[in-house]
Amino acid sequence: MNRRDFIGKALPAGVVMPKLINDLTFKAFGVSPFLEALVAAPTETDHVLVLIQLNGGNDGLNTVIPFDQYDNLANARGNIIIPKNKVLKLDGTSYTGIHTAMTGLQSLYNDGKAKIIQSVGYPQPNFSHFRATDIWLTGANSDQVLTSGWAGRYLAQQYTNFPVGYPNTIMPDPLAIQIGSSVSPALQGPSVNMGMAITDPNNFYSLISGKTTAAPNTNAGKELTYIRQVAQQTTQYGTVIKAAASKVTKQGAYPSNNSLADQLKVVARLIAGGLKTRVYMVNIGSFDTHSAQVNTGAQETGYHATMLGKVSDAIKAFMDDLKGLGASKRVAGMTFSEFGRRIKSNASVGTDHGAAAPMILFGDYIQPGVLGTSPVISNNVGVNDNIPMQYDFRSVYASLLQQWFCVDPSTLGDILLNNFQSLPVIKSSAPCVSTQSELNASAGDKLISNYPNPFQSVTHVSFKSSGGHVLIQIFDVQGKLISNLVDNIYDQGNYEVRFDAQNIPPGVYYARLQNGSLTQTRGMVAVR
């Protein structure tokens, strides 16, 4: 058995380390070529990305409420929908509001420091918690099972000897830290886990002094030495984390009884303490609201409201704290969940597993506003109907990597295994940003339509191209990809293509246009 096989099969996820800060333990991702590429980007940057995972599948339609689709949505989920007069309004938009409990995020949005991306998902969505989470963390297609993470694949290409030689004088700090939980599958390489755990090695004092106990002269001696090297590295990272935390002695106020706020408070302390760490990952759950999602008769209250309030309050406190500590301009944040919920509520005053859902980005340099149009809600929603995808989640990853960390576009294809559209998520005034135009299609711009609609066997799809690659996809109401109708390069202008619907059953379908950073979705009805 060679070293890679041994490590891949036998190396533990980590060793337990004493509680470091505020009784919280840490999982630290070791130095990696992917993350080091972020540090050594063409333009010098000290940017930080904070990923907030909403475990369980958050109900996006009760989080971001479409005013322009409200009546049809109320027909579909009358027992759980937020009363229209309770929905929080957002500056600059008359068609999008957010849940009553999210006053903190409303404040950030109205201050120009938050962005909503509508209907984020992927073709052929999976409704299993475990499988859907794997898809989001590995960047896989729904019919593709990957044993490596989207970041780990890049790491393995660049640092074949990782973790030997780190930390070092160039990068003494961990490049990504996860508070609690286990090392994310996103950092699993093809043959070895590229993530490191800061845990409690058996020989703590020996390791922290830089010494490694001699391994026995046996066939497994080299492998045991390698494991001890990993443990030693882990302890050294623990030392720099404690040192950074000790530099911050006063922080802003955070809400109590809020696990996400507790995690983000530590993240803010480490960022302000001077760690060069680029990526932090935190989580909160569960958002698996099959029943008792709201309080009957007061739908703006209840379990889901409590969870969203915790997320909103924690993020607001985090950003206020960073501002007070003089570190807010370094940070961009992102919320994500493994899937959304279905349009129609169930009889248990809840919602079942669904497909696309909104994502929320926040930070001083986030390009504010609503990206995309409200999800289309028909007046006759079935129990299995889902909102159609407007944006692929990997496009959000690619956009943040390119615009916030200045990762070269040629590297993005290796990380994400495909090319995904660049979305306008970071302001062009950010110190480290690619030449990304700040484009956004307003709700009134009609980029795609079809005639006749409703139609029987054939309809003609008209679309507008601003030049470059155009992709038009047809989805059914469950979010399944029916056809790639257009996938080609077009000059600027207006075009029309024929969609033959003879082989599909009658029902509601969605045509999704993607042209550069622009995306728009329109509903179509096939009849017989």
CATH code of the domain covering residue 512: 2.60.40.1930
Same domain, 136 and 212: yes
The answer to whether 329 and 362 are in contact (CB under 8 A) is no
SS3 62: helix
Task: Say if 265 falls within a structural domain.
Answer: yes
Q: What is the per-residue DSSP string for 354-413?
A: -S-EEEEEEETTB--EEESPPPP--SS--TT--PPP-EEHHHHHHHHHHHHS---HHHHH
Domain co-membership, 453 together with 313: no
Q: Note whether 184 and 40 are same-domain residues.
A: yes
Q: For residue 419, what is the enclosing H or E element? A: none
Q: Is residue 234 part of a domain?
A: yes
Residues 382, 457: one domain?
A: no
Contact residues for 172 (Cβ-Cβ < 8 A; gap 6+)? 240, 276
Give the max Cα distance, the chain. 79
* CA dist., res. 293 & res. 285, Å (int): 14
Residues 211 and 80 in one domain: yes
**Residue where a domain terminates, one of 393, 415, 440:** 393
φ/ψ (deg, to 5) at 415: -70, -45
Same-domain check for residues 88 and 231 = yes
Domain assignment of residue 414, yes or no:
no
CA distance 43 to 433: 8
In whole angstroms, what is the distance from residue 417 CA to residue 382 CA? Answer: 35
Clarify whether residues 389 and 455 are in a common domain: no
Give yes or no: residues 377 and 452 share one domain: no
Give dist(CA 172, CA 187) in Å, integer. 19
Query: Is residue 367 situated within a structural domain?
Result: yes
Comparing CA positions, the residue from 109, 104, 27 lying closest to residue 279 is 27
- 334: nearest Cα among 426, 432, 436, 422: 426
The 3 state secondary structure assigned to 208-238 is HCCCCCCCCCCCCHHHHHHHHHHHHHHHHHH
Which domain does 460 fall in, by range? 448-526
DSSP classification of residue 295? B
Looking at residue 148, the DSSP 8-state letter turns out to be S
Contact status, residue 77 vs residue 345, Cβ threshold 8 Å: yes
Phi-psi category of 235—alpha, beta or left, where left has phi over 0 and alpha has psi -120 to 50?
Answer: alpha
- Per the CB < 8 A criterion, the answer to whether 1 and 186 are in contact is no
Q: Helix, strand or coil for residue 344?
A: coil
Do 359 and 461 belong together in one domain? no
Buried residues in 211-243 as b, exposed as e (16+ CB within 10 A): eeeeeeeeeeeebbebbbbbbbbbbbbbebbee
- Examine residue 440 and state whether it is found in any structural domain, yes or no: no
Q: Which of 393, 416, 438 is the last residue before a domain boundary?
A: 393
Q: Quick one: which of 526, 369, 485 has its CA closest to 438? A: 369
pLDDT along the chain (528 residues), means of 10: 38 40 52 42 64 96 97 97 97 97 98 97 96 91 83 49 57 61 60 47 30 53 58 66 84 95 90 84 92 97 98 98 96 96 97 98 97 92 93 93 81 84 91 50 70 91 92 89 92 94 88 87 85
Residues 6+ apart with CB under 8 A from 381: 72, 75, 76, 343, 344
Rounded distance, CA 143 to CA 156, Å? 24
Residue 423 lies in a domain: no
N-to-C CA span, the chain: 63
HEC states along 347-360?
Answer: CCCCCCECCCEEEE
Q: Is the overall model pTM greater than 0.85, yes or no?
A: no
Q: Is residue 417 part of a domain?
A: no
C-beta atoms surrounding 40 within 10 Å? 13
d(CA 52, CA 334): 6
Instruction: Output the DSSP codes for 456-510.
Output: SSEEEEEEEE-SEEEEEEEEETTS-EEEEEEEEEE-SEEEEEEEE-TTS-SEEEE
Residue with tokens 């509520």: 345
Cβ-proximal residues to 158 (8 Å cutoff; 6+ apart), any chain: 32, 33, 34, 36, 37
Predicted confidence at residue 527, as pLDDT, reads 87
Cβ atoms of residues 325 and 268 within 8 Å: yes
Final residue in a domain of this structure, among 373, 393, 413: 393
Is residue 147 one of the residues assigned to a domain?
yes
- The total of structural domains in the chain comes to 2
Give residues with Cβ within 8 angstroms of 143, minimum separation 6.
124
Identity of the residue numbered 333: G
486 and 346, same domain (yes or no):
no
**Total count of residues recorded for the chain:** 528
